[in-house]
Amino acid sequence: MPKSQQGAGASLVQDYLRGDPAAIRTVDRWIDIVLKKRFPSLREDWDDLKQEIRIRVLHNFRAGRFDGRATLGTYVHRLASNVCIDLMRKPHRRRELNAAEVDIPAADPSERTGITAWIERDLLCKAFAGLTEADRILAAHVLREGSSAAELARCLGISVAAARKRVLRCRGRLLLRRATAAR
């Protein structure tokens, strides 16, 4: 590879590590290209994948793993592809809860009684019915088993930050579905 390409890649890495917005946009554009062209079937997970890829890029840049043998764009492309492929393989490596195993937590009888508890449980059932399988599994881990973000991260094979983000998104979708079901 010509020295000019090596120098350009190294300077972009340094700019990225300093938090230069232009460098971050460039890397994000490369990540988006990989996701849109090679992994459109993972569209539902793109936000989480982008976060995982960015974390991996940052760790690799900090550790000096980009050696300049390929262009920086190719390096990010390969890294992004590997993260996506890892995600696609994971369901075959771990046991996930089946939809039938996901039950809705019972309403606390000390808080609500009679018709109020029944209405609350009915709304929760309707909200759960509208969630995706992945959201129902995630909600079951959090609500039924009381899993922490670290436990979720370990179970799902993602970072703790990505696990927290998924829980927040799932909680938001669940609340939105619940509010919609109440109308």
- For 73-84, letters b (16+ CB in 10 Å) and e give eebbbebbeebb
Per residue in 132-147, pLDDT (tens digit) is: 777 777 777 776 667 7
CA distance 127 to 114: 20
CA distance 34 to 43: 12
**Above 60 in pLDDT, residue 149?**
yes
DSSP code of residue 140: I
Q: Give mean pLDDT, residues 160-170.
A: 81
pLDDT of residue 75: 93
Q: Give mean pLDDT, residues 119-140.
A: 69
Query: How high does pLDDT run on average in the chain?
Result: 75
pLDDT of residue 23: 93
Q: Give mean pLDDT, residues 22-47.
A: 90
Instruction: Give the H or E element holding residue 139.
Output: helix 133-139
Locate CATH 1.10.10.10 in the chain. 99-182
pLDDT of residue 116: 64
CATH 3.40.50.300 assigned to domain 99-182? The reply is no
Which percentage of the chain shows pLDDT scores above 90? 23
Locate CATH 1.10.1740 in the chain. 3-93
| Per-residue pLDDT band at 1 (split at 50, 70, 90) | very low
CATH T-level topology, domain 3-93:
Rna Polymerase Sigma Factor; Chain: A (1.10.1740)
